[in-house]
Amino acid sequence: MTPACVARTVFDARSKDPKYAQQVLLLLASWHACANDGVPLELLIVGPELKGVTDFALALGATVHQSEPIACDELSKASNKILGATGGSSASEVLLLDNDVWFSSRPDLRPFVGKRTIFGCTAGRERVTPAQWAVMSSELGLNPLPSHAVPLQERLSSLLEGRPPRAIDQYYINSGVLLLPDARDLADAWVSHLMRLARHFQAHPLRSKEMCGSDQTALATAAGQFGSAAYMPEGFNYRPVSFALGLVESPDSVHLVHMVGSSERRNADEPLSACLRRYWTVRVDRLLEQLDGHLPKPDIDDRRALSAWAFARMLAIAHDYDLDRVYQRCVQES
C-alpha cells in the first residue's frame, strides 16, 4: 500500500564538505527516533554512493535511490532538492526536507495532506526586492501569490530596534521544509522558472544571487503558477531565529528543527557531536544573548529553556545512534 505522504531529502554526495554528510546522518537518526512509524523516509543521492550513509539509512529502514543531477545543476547545486518533489516512490504527497533539518518530534501532517496545496513556513529574510519582483512580472510574466507575512529576521530586527516590523506582500517561504502535492506540473514549473530567472538576470542591472539560481525565488513564482499555497505552523521549520522569537510555547509544538546558516567549511576529523555543539553556540545561543534588555526576563528564560531542550534532544539522538562513530566511518570511506 502506497503511503499518503513520504518524507524525502536529496543528498548531494559530490561535495567535499563533510557538513552535508553530518547533516544527513542526524536527519536519518532523528527520523528513526521520532517519526519512522508514521512517515516513511526516502534518501535520494546525487553523485557517487557514500557507503557509510547508504548503509546507515538502510539499517534504519529508509529507502535509498540514486539520481542523476537535475537539469539546472550547473546554475545551482542547491536546485537538486527539486528532484525530491517527484523522485523516489509514488507517494501522493512529499514532505521535502533539506539535509540540515532534523526531527525533534513526530509531525502530524494530517491537516495538510490531500489539499493539493503547497505548504511551507515564513521566510527567514526578504531576499527579493520590490524592483526585482516587478521585473519578474513585467518582463517574464512570473508572479508569486499575494500574501502578507513578516520574515523572521525582520521580526527580530524590529524587536531589537524598537520599531514596527515590515511585512512582504508575496508568498515567499523558506524552502527547507515543504509539504508538496503530487504534481509533476509544479516540479516542472519550479525548474523552468529557476532557469528562466537565472538567464534573464545574468546580465541584468538588478542581478543578485537570489535571482541567479535560488530555488526559493523560483518556488515562489512556481507556486503562483500552481495557484494554491498556504503556511504551516512555525514548529514545522524551527530555525535559530525562531528560538529567539519564541514562536511556540512548548517543546510539543516543535517538530522539525532547521539548522540554517551553517556556512563554514568543517574539519572532516572533528567529531560530529562537537560540530553540533559549536553550531548551537554560534547560531542559537548568540541570538538569545541579544534579547537581554529588550524583553522581560521571564520571557527570555522561557526561550532559553526551549533552546536548552532542543539542544539536549539533538545531542541525545546523536549519542543514542552513535553518530560520531558512524560519521568517522563515512570519512574513512570518502
**Residue 306 domain-assigned?**
yes
d(CA 58, CA 280): 29
Query: Is there a contact between 247 and 266 (Cβ–Cβ < 8 Å)?
Result: no
CATH number where 112 lies: 3.90.550
Q: Cell numbers 507517494 label which residue?
A: 91
- CA angle (183, 187, 190) in 5-degree steps: 140
pLDDT of residue 1: 43
Structure confidence by residue, pLDDT tens digits, 264-322: 667 778 999 999 999 999 999 999 999 999 999 999 999 999 999 999 999 999 999 99
- Average pLDDT over the chain, rounded to an integer: 94
Contact 237, 176 (CB under 8 A): yes
Whether residue 95 contacts residue 116, with contact meaning beta carbons closer than 8 Å, is answered with no
164-204 pLDDT tens trace: 999 999 999 999 999 999 888 999 999 999 999 999 999 99
Q: State the pLDDT at residue 49.
A: 85
In a domain, 235, yes or no: yes
Q: Does a structural domain hold residue 197?
A: no
Q: Which residue has the cell 541525545?
A: 316
**Strand ranges inside the chain, DSSP E:** 5-12, 41-46, 63-67, 93-97, 101-103, 118-122, 146-149, 168-170, 173-181, 229-231, 256-258
Domain that holds residue 25: 1-125+173-192+228-334
- For residue 119, is it within any domain? yes
314: Cα within 13 Å, side-chain hemisphere: 29
3-state secondary structure of 198: helix
Question: Does residue 143 belong to any structural domain of this protein?
Answer: no
Three state DSSP letters for 278-314: HHHHHHHHHHHHCCCCCCCHHHHHHHHHHHHHHHHHH
Helix (H/G/I), strand (E/B), else coil: 204: coil
Asked if residue 82 is part of any domain, the answer here is yes
pLDDT of residue 201: 96
Nearest to 179 by CA among 249, 248, 101: 101
How many domains in the chain?
1
* Residue at 89 is within a domain: yes
Domain assignment present for residue 156? The answer is no
Provide the residue-wise pLDDT of the chain in tens; the chain has 334 residues.
456 899 999 999 998 889 999 999 999 999 999 998 889 999 999 999 899 999 999 999 999 999 999 988 988 888 999 999 986 665 679 999 999 999 999 999 999 999 999 999 999 999 999 999 999 999 999 999 999 999 999 999 999 999 999 999 999 999 999 999 988 899 999 999 999 999 999 999 999 989 998 999 999 999 999 999 999 999 999 999 999 999 999 999 999 999 998 766 677 789 999 999 999 999 999 999 999 999 999 999 999 999 999 999 999 999 999 999 999 999 888 7
CA dihedral (173, 90, 60, 44) in degrees, to 10, reads -60
User: Which of 31, 10, 33, 13 is CA-nearest to residue 21?
Assistant: 13
